[in-house]
Amino acid sequence: MDNASDLIIALPEGLYCPAGAFYIDPWRPVERAIITHAHSDHARMGHGHYLTAQAGLGVLLARLPGIAAQGLPYGERIDINGVRVSLHPAGHVLGSAQVRVEHAGRVWVASGDYKIEPDPTCAPFEPVRCQTFITESTFGLPVYRWEPSQAIFDSINAWWRHNAAAGLASVLFCYSLGKAQRVLAGVDRGIGPIFCHGAVEAVNRLYRDAVVDLPATRPTGEIPAHEKTAFRNALIVAPPSAQGSAWMRRFGEYRDALASGWMRLRGARRRRGVDRGFVLSDHADWPGLQQAIEATGAQRVIVTHGQIEPMVRWLREQGYDAGTFATEYGGDAIEADTEAPSAENAQK
């Protein structure tokens, strides 16, 4: 969909602003990169200089040690080669940002990944007025409609409480950056002790450094491998990659579950081989995508990844000038350590 006069175009390296000579979340090494958030499909090694939201700078530096990075407070505008750039909350994870780009009377916004439901672990999504909006569409199908997160946390609490009463450990798999901290902030801290896999605990420390309120947690490694009784009424939060590993043996008898937007689909829990599935995503659902797009006031919308064709079709039916950019972002597939289903299968 590239046009020579566009403010942002798609190049083999990533989304590029010719007027400002910078890239947004590039997937190949470039000199100047603006990073929307620290998930690995958006933040990669090899760039000369990184700009990200100040709120997420600590996470980015922890994930990409040794990089040259600058943090920019939300809403503060800077000039990059004559282009005015500002970062605005995306509500996805700690420090996630939308990128507002203004030049010669044109205003574009690249959303990165976002959700519109409030989340106590990160700044809430902020609609940014623009003429052209570049949006994700990870869950861009009508089947994806999220329940309020409190209802999901209530279900997680009930599951954990039931397991604890039976003397069983409760192992909940969720992505270590963002999803795990959202779960920790939402569960009932009085049910039992909470342990975390080392990958999760490392990110917890970064969130606490950013003054995000999380419950007390302990690394599972603090408990000797033979002392399985310590986990009998505990919640253990771990990345999906830990499923089926030798690390799981330390818990004795347990029940496991996965928190992911893909749990909305019939059969997803069975394919993942877990006892329970909780439908919890850090991306906007179908109504949320529509609400966010409308709030920008944009007449042109470019879809970058996810369920692209259904979203583009709906946008055109509503009168938008809609198209696509080819990108290499993974969406919630990265969060859940699983591949996203095809649009055909997702609708079944």
3 state SS of 300: strand
The dihedral over CA atoms of 186, 338, 315, 148, expressed in degrees to the nearest 10, equals: -20
pLDDT value, residue 182 = 98
Q: Determine how many CB atoms are found less than 10 A away from the CB of residue 213.
A: 10
- Summarize pLDDT for 224-264 with one digit per residue, the tens: 988 889 999 999 999 999 998 999 999 999 999 999 999 99
- CB-CB neighbours of 339 under 10 Å: 9
Q: What is the pLDDT of residue 173?
A: 97
DSSP strand pairing (194-196 vs 235-238): parallel
pLDDT at 28: 96
Once rounded to an integer, what is the mean pLDDT over residues 255-275?
84
Instruction: Provide the b/e sequence for 80-109 (b: ≥16 CB within 10 Å).
Output: beebebbbbbbbbbbbbbbbbbbbeebbbb
Q: What are the backbone dihedrals phi and psi of residue 240, each rounded to the nearest 5 degrees, phi first? A: -60, -25
Residue by residue, DSSP assigns 7-67 as SSEEETTEEEETTTTEEES-SS--SEEE-S--STTT--TT-SEEEEEGGGHHHHHHHSTT-
Instruction: Report the alpha-carbon distance of residue 292 to residue 77 in Å, rounded.
Output: 22
Average the pLDDT over 6-21 and give the result.
Answer: 97
Q: Is the pLDDT of residue 17 over 90?
A: yes
Structure tokens at 193: 């002790």
Q: What is the pLDDT of residues 101-140, one digit of tens each?
A: 999 999 999 999 999 999 999 999 999 999 999 999 999 9
Cβ neighbors of 220 (< 8 A, separation 6 or more) are: 195, 196, 197, 198, 231, 236, 247, 250
Beta carbons of 337 and 240 less than 8 angstroms apart: yes
More confident residue, 146 or 348: 146
How far apart are the C-alpha atoms of 162 and 105, rounded to whole Å? 59
The H-or-E segment that residue 107 falls in is strand 106-110
Residue 171: which pLDDT band, with cuts at 50, 70 and 90?
very high
Q: Does the structure show a pLDDT above 80 at 344?
A: no
pLDDT for 219 equals 96
DSSP labels, 234-269: -EEEE-GGGTTSGGGGGG-SEEEEEE-GGGGSTTHH
pLDDT band at 331 (very low <50, low <70, confident <90, very high): low
pLDDT at residue 4 tops 80: no
List CB contacts of 215: < 8 A, sequence separation 6 or more: 184, 185, 187, 189, 194
CB 272, CB 244: distance < 8 Å: no
Mean pLDDT value across the chain = 92
Mean pLDDT over residues 64-89, rounded? 98
In SS3 terms, 2-16 reads as CCCCCCCEEECCEEE
Per-residue confidence band for 288, with pLDDT thresholds at 50, 70 and 90: very high
Confidence of residue 340 (pLDDT cuts 50, 70, 90): very low
Write the single-letter amino acid at 261: G
pLDDT band at 272 (very low <50, low <70, confident <90, very high): confident
pLDDT of residue 329: 85
In which band, very low, low, confident or very high, does the pLDDT at 345 lie, cut at 50, 70 and 90? very low
Domains recognised in the chain with CATH numbers: 9-144+282-346 (3.60.15.10), 149-278 (3.40.50.10710)
How high is the pLDDT of residue 339? 34
- Give per-residue pLDDT as tens, 172-228: 999 999 999 999 999 999 999 999 999 999 999 999 999 999 999 999 999 998 888
Across residues 305-314, what is the average pLDDT?
Answer: 94
Predicted local confidence at residue 269, as pLDDT: 65
**Cα(171)–Cα(163) distance, rounded to whole angstroms?**
10
Angle CA 292–296–301, to nearest 5:
85
| Residue 149: φ, ψ to 5° | -60, -30
Please report the DSSP string for 184-204 in residue order.
HHHS-TTSS-EEE-HHHHHHH
Compute the distance between CA of residue 108 and CA of residue 118 in angstroms, rounded to an integer: 24
Interior CA angle at 212 toward 24 and 55, to 5°? Answer: 25
Q: What's the pLDDT at 76?
A: 98
- Indicate the pTM of the whole model: 0.92
